Amino acid sequence: MSHGNWYERNMLPWLIDFACGMKSVSRQRMKVIPQAQGRVLEIGLGTGLNLPFYDAGRVQELVGVEPSLTMHHLAMKRSRAAGIPVELVGIGAERLPLADHVFDTVVSTYTLCTIPDPVLALRELRRVLRPGGRLLFSEHGRAPDESVRKWQARIQPVWGKFSGGCHLGRDIPAILKEAGFDAQVESMYIPGPRIASYHYWGEAVAV
């Protein structure tokens, strides 16, 4: 868990809340989050922007992991407003102090870009997912156009510094595959700057 430096404590949560709260991004959340059911684990819960999109009638329990403690109070506020209680734990997703095969649904939105070792985190998600359980995801990543990919690489050093370690060009389908997930992936540019707007979303099961 981390309180971070001044920028990470005072600026980053609001910046992430603003950027990840845009209408076009909310539309992506709407495509995956309402499908969560049963016992649910969300990694990198951030400021809780998914909380209004959960179907309270389908979610039996929601556990969230979020290493940045300064985001917790915003997330708890949203949890109360949405009427979706969440048990929030201040840790990263690469090593989860959770038993095997206990969750029906695991959720990652816009975290595979930031987690230092996303394959390790996804393998943890496979471990805690019950047989037949589903991973729901929506992520931005590697653009299909070479010209955009060039800009993703050019801007990355500065972008990474100001975004809390976000990578613009991660190959999300390849990462899911490497971690042992069979994913049904949809992809497209959503409205917004092209370097950060190529989206991958869908569901995946462990193989």
111 vs 152, which CB is nearer to ligand SAM? Answer: 111
Residue whose CB is less far from ligand SAM, 46 or 169: 46
Structure token pair of residue 18: 């603003």
134 contacts: CB under 8 Å, gap ≥ 6: 35, 104, 105, 106, 203, 204, 205
- Nearest approach, Cβ of residue 166 and ligand SAM (Å): 6
- The C-alpha atoms of residue 76 and residue 80 are separated, in whole angstroms, by 6
Q: Which residues pair with 139 in a beta bridge?
A: 200
Q: Which residue is nearest to ligand SAM (CB)?
A: 46
Least Cβ distance, residue 112 to ligand SAM (angstroms): 9
Which of 43/176 has CB closer to ligand SAM? 43
User: What CA–CA distance (Å, rounded) separates 94 from 97?
Assistant: 10
Identify the sign of the CA torsion 182, 103, 187, 146: negative
Which residues lie near ligand SAM (CB under 6 A)?
Answer: 16, 20, 43-46, 49-50, 65-68, 71, 92-94, 109-111, 114-115, 121, 164, 166
Q: How far is CA 20 from CA 3, 13, 124, 165, in A?
A: 20, 10, 25, 15
Closest approach, Cβ 154 to ligand SAM, in A, equals 20
Name the minimum Å distance from CB 65 to ligand SAM.
6
* Closer residue to ligand SAM in complex, CB, 10/147: 10
Please state the closest distance from residue 146 (CB atom) to ligand SAM, in A: 25
